[in-house]
Amino acid sequence: MVDTVLYNKKNIDYVAKKIIDNKIDLGAVVCFKILPKKIWDLPKYKTINLHYSLLYSYGGPNPVEWQLYNGEKYTGASVHYISKEIDKGALIAQNKIKMPQFKFILNVYNKLEPVGKKQC
């Protein structure tokens, strides 16, 4: 079963309780700012993140925008464990693809979506 819990700074204790009460083995996040250790460290197998860049390049927020701004020829999706350093956790999987011909942010996201689904 997959349970989805939306986190914000105001409900940290609620999210932690849900993880503990439901004995969550693995946490997963996508497109998240900074998740506190109190949350990502709770699941038995910790928490993973799907990130739209070839880590360890373009960690942090807005990686696709920065890749476009810098004229990158390739992009990709990375799955990694969350750690105390943002987007520096151990890599689990990574898939590299060519940037789309028309370099608009929506085009890049549309090309990355199936890559991200495949990674997870």
Share above pLDDT 70 across residues of the chain, in percent, rounded to a whole number: 94
Return the pLDDT at 9.
79
Question: Does residue 14 contact residue 38 with C-beta atoms inside 8 Å?
Answer: no
d(CA 66, CA 87) in angstroms, rounded, equals 15
Instruction: Give me the domains of the chain, ranges plus CATH numbers.
Output: 9-119 (3.40.50.170)
Tokens of 20: 């503990």
pLDDT in tens, 61-87: 899 999 999 999 999 999 999 999 999
Return the pLDDT at 95.
94
